[in-house]
Structure formats: C-alpha cells, structure tokens
Amino acid sequence: MPGFELFSDLERKEVNDVLDNGVLMRYGFDGMRKGHWKAKELESELAKTFDVNHVQLLSSGTAAVSVALASAGVGAGDEVIMPTFTFVASFEAIMMLGAIPVLVDIDDTLTLDPKAVEAAITSKTKAVMVVQMCGSMGNMDALRQVCDNHNLIFVEDACQAIGGTYKGKPLGTIADVGCFSFDFVKTITCGEGGAVVTNNKEYYINADNYSDHGHDHEGSDRGAETHPFLGYNFRISELNAAVGLAQVRRLPDFIAIQKRNYTIIRNTLTKVAGVSFRTVPNGGEESYAFLNFFLPDLDAARNVSKAFKDNGIDVCFHYYDNNWHYIRKWDHLKDLKSLFPISKEVKEGLEYLQTKTFEQSDGYIARNISCLIKLSWTEDEVKQRAEKMADCINKVCN
Ligand SMILES: Cc1ncc(COP(=O)(O)O)c(C=O)c1O
C-alpha cells in the first residue's frame, strides 16, 4: 500500500479520456461517451484479474460491505459476527442495515477465531464476516465449515488484502461474497471506491440494482428502467473508476514491490530476539501490504512504538492504543452515540458491548505492531529502515 505513490501517465491517460468526453456518470449518456465506460471496464478487468464471475463497483469499501450484506438479504435485527480487530467501517456497514454487529475474538491470524465464531452463534445469526486484516487472512476452511454447519452467509472483507491468496484463490473471492476498498491509501486506489465480488449471480444483480436506486439497468433508457426493489446511491464516478483502471493493470508490479520490501524487513527482524510473526494459514500468501509482528508484552510494544516514532520510522501502528482499528478505543460505538434514534432491537442487541471483555484479542493486539509497506521505498531505504527497526527493538527488549 498505497498505489497513489506511483501515479503515472497511465492513470493520467484514463482520467483524460473521461474529461475529454465530459461524462462523469457511469450509467447512460451513451452518445456522448466516445466509447468510454471506465466503471464497466474496471469491473471486467477486476473479474479477469481475480477470476470471479461478477464485480459491482461502488463508491467506497464501506459501501461495498453494506451492499454485500444487503445483497445477501441481511437486514433489520439480523446478527452479523465480525472480529474485534478491523476498521470501524465493518461495524458501520452492519448498522446501516439495521442489523446487529456481534464482535468476537481474533486468533493468531489476527482475524476471526473459528471457535469464538461458533460460540457466538444464536438463532438470530445471519452472516459471518471475516476481515482479512493487514494483507493476510483467517482460517478460511474452518470458518467456511462453521458457516456451512449453521447455514450462515460467509462474507469476506478483503479491503486491506487485495492481491493476497489462499490455496491459489484470490482473497475476496473465497467466501460467498467479498469486498474490496480502493480508497486513497489502498494498494490499488480510485481516490474513493470499492467493489463487491461474487460468483453468486443473484447477489450480483441485487448489488447492481441496490447501489443505484433500485434501477434494473435493462435497456438504454434510464428513465424507462423499472425498479424491482428499494435502493440507494452507492455509485462510483467515471473519474474515480478511470484511476482504478490504470492501477489494477499495475497490481502484479505493486505486489512484487511490496513483497520485496516486506521480505527485506522480515528477514532482518527474524534475527531479533523477542520478535515473532502473525500466523498465515497453510496455503495462504499475504499481499505483503503490511508486516505484522508480535513483541513479548504490552510494555515492549508501547516502548518500541515510541522508539520507532522518535527515530523517524513512520507508518508502524500499535493498534492497541489507536482509535481506528480495535474495539478497545471505540467508545462512540460502545456508547452507541448516534445522530438519530437507533431501534430498540439494535440497542438491546448491543448492550453486551458495555460489559464484554476480549482478553484473547487483547493478548494479540497489545503485543502487535503493524508496519505498512510502502511502494515508493528504494531497496537501500528499506534496508536502512529494517536495520533501524532492529536497533530500536534490541534497545528496548534485549
Ligand atoms: C478492513 C476494512 N474494511 C472496510 C474499509 C472501508 O473502506 P473505505 O475507506 O473505502 O470506505 C476499510 C478502510 O480502510 C478497511 O480497512
């Protein structure tokens, strides 16, 4: 991450095509477009790249998660199981549908512990959402088994893991429905954007219609289209899609750079006493967007995090003390601060957040540091950075 570091004439050419014809809307205006359909082209390119039957582009990754759930029929009062370590978007996307986020512990993969998922299932559970955090993945076979045993929809938020694979399949395409984000800091960026990917035709048609006011997209007269059901506007613009189109064609190059940079740092940190790494399930290959490692305890992680900052080592996150990605600091969600009234059912469904503790998750996140891997670093810069990181850890821990 992130693709914006390497913007080039390729992105500029795609954007200029859109500006030249003046059509920023992804649907309609056929006569004016001079044959340019950037959103449609990006959907085809993503389907080809990720070997998946259907792709629906959307305005953001958050929209993608919400639309994915809606397209599978998740709604009012349904419980959706999600991990304690993710981005607030997971919680928000479930809430948007009037459904209830049920947070459960993570394991050493840094996402859903299948045993914790099993223990959280109730008669209201409708879906299980694995979040492939920081470029890696959960125990997909075990999670699939739990979903199949209980007839639950399996959703995959691969917003942070584009380019990773599990048993040869791209992350995002393994569960029943998957999600990508193309926001500004992702490996492939559209500025803002997201996608739902699925091999389920019904989910795809639902996502396509729902994300554009319920339009059925039949024929070429937008005003004459019918609306099979209620929808909203989660459309992406042609300008955003144009940037993504150039970027997705560069994905193999971006992943190769991430892998080189990740490997240099990992090989250096492997030699440092006290450092261990997250578990990547057998058959999995990370996207190398982040390097995640564990230190012996919370104090060590806090002190190393401070030493990194003091020594100019940026983009390394200790999520235990960070407001974005871990339940511990999500006070606005625990206290259900909302601009508008929340349904009684959801309020009651979330009461558990006032008292429930997540010791197992704390055990991992307290000791974890996640280092973002940049594309713009030169090999020499990465080597120097890795040595500095090793020095900091050695000074604090050894
Ligand atoms: C795991 C995860 N899910 C969803 C999202 C939401 O994506 P967006 O920022 O495109 O709305 C993010 C964004 O960082 C994310 O990290």
Can you tell me which atom of ligand 1 is nearest the CA of 65?
A: 4
Main-chain phi, psi angles of 230, to 5 degrees: -60, 135
pLDDT the model gives residue 1: 61
For the Cβ of 178 lying below 6 angstroms from any atom of ligand 1, the answer is no
Residue to mutate (ligand 1; options 84, 94, 181, 185; most atoms within 8 A of CB): 181
d(CA 334, CA 216): 38
Task: Answer whether the bond into residue 114 is a cis peptide, omega within 30°.
Answer: no
Chain centroid offset of residue 146 CA: 22
The Cα 69–Cα 119 span in angstroms is 22
Sign of the torsion formed by the C-alpha atoms of 7, 8, 10 and 15: positive
Q: Specify the pLDDT at position 5.
A: 86
β-pairing, 79-83 vs 125-131, is parallel
- pLDDT per position as a tens digit, 381-398: 999 999 999 999 999 998
Quick one: which H or E segment has residue 198? Answer: strand 194-198
HSE, CB side, 13 Å, CA atoms: give it for residue 124. Answer: 15
pTM: 0.97
Residue 275 identity (one-letter amino acid): V
**Helix pair angle (238-248, 251-269), 10° resolution:** 60
**Separation of 183 CA from ligand 1 center, angstroms?**
7
Q: Kindly state the DSSP code that residue 112 receives in the 8-state scheme.
A: B
Determine the distance separating the centroid of ligand 1 and the alpha carbon of 85, expressed in angstroms.
Answer: 13
Q: Is the pLDDT of residue 3 over 80?
A: no
Q: Distance between CA atoms of 258 and 121, rounded to whole angstroms?
A: 37
CA 10–ligand 1 middle distance (angstroms):
25
Q: Read off the pLDDT of residues 185-235 as tens digits, 9 standing for 90 and up.
A: 999 999 999 999 999 999 999 999 999 999 999 988 888 999 999 999 999
Q: Are 254 and 3 in contact (CB under 8 A)?
A: yes
pLDDT, one tens digit per residue, over 25-63 is: 999 999 999 999 999 999 999 999 999 999 999 999 999
Query: What per-residue confidence (pLDDT) applies to 322?
Result: 84
Please choose, from the candidates 358, 371, 372, the residue with its C-alpha nearest in 3D space to the C-alpha of residue 85: 358
Distance CA 181, CA 157 (A): 9
Three-class HEC string of 294-350: ECCCHHHHHHHHHHHHHCCCCCEECHHHCCCCEHHHCHHHHCCCCCCCCCHHHHHHC
